[in-house]
């Protein structure tokens, strides 16, 4: 019965395994995020502050970027970014970005 529950937008509510996958994601460094986004690291730090897609554990610590939030910001998807900021992890708008994260190529630094 819970699997067929619908939210107010008439979309299927995500199953618990997909929601857990959202919650278990690992943060990435600013340099890896910059490589994925094709921007300079300073832009990633700005996005972390403006859009809430990253955090610092203390004042001078390096930023850690959420790859899900990064994907949403790169796509310019304001509606999904709002759901992300409200921590609506079971929102179908957020869940659809998970498939893209699974297919994202690993970042390999140039030697």
User: Per the domain annotation, does 34 fall within a domain?
Assistant: yes
Token readout for 71 is: 């994907």
User: Per the domain annotation, does 110 fall within a domain?
Assistant: no
pLDDT of residue 20: 57
Q: What is the CATH number of the domain that holds 76?
A: 1.10.1660
What are the tens digits of pLDDT across the range 46-101?
999 999 999 999 989 999 999 999 999 999 989 999 998 998 888 888 888 876 66
pLDDT of residue 96: 83
Which has more pLDDT, 2 or 22? Answer: 22
- Rounded Cα distance, 34 and 75, in Å: 14
User: Per the domain annotation, does 1 fall within a domain?
Assistant: no
- Rounded Cα distance, 1 and 6, in Å: 10
Average pLDDT over residues 16-26: 61
Domain count, the chain: 1
User: Per the domain annotation, does 8 fall within a domain?
Assistant: no
User: Per the domain annotation, does 111 fall within a domain?
Assistant: no
User: Per the domain annotation, does 5 fall within a domain?
Assistant: no
Range of the domain at 89: 13-103
pLDDT of residue 7: 43
Average pLDDT over residues 18-36: 78
pLDDT of residue 93: 86
| Sign, Cα dihedral of 2, 3, 8, 10 | negative
């Amino acid at each position: 019965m819970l699997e067929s529950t619908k939210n107010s937008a008439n979309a299927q509510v995500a199953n618990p395994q997909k929601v857990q996958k959202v919650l278990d994601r690992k943060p990435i460094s600013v340099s890896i995020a910059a490589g994925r986004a094709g921007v300079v690291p300073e832009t990633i730090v700005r996005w972390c502050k403006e859009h809430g897609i990253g955090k610092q554990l203390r004042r001078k610590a390096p930023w850690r970027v959420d790859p899900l939030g990064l994907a949403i910001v790169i796509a310019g998807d304001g509606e999904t970014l709002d759901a992300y900021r409200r921590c609506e992890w079971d929102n179908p708008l957020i869940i659809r970005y998970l498939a893209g994260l699974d297919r994202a190529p690993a970042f390999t630094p140039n030697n």
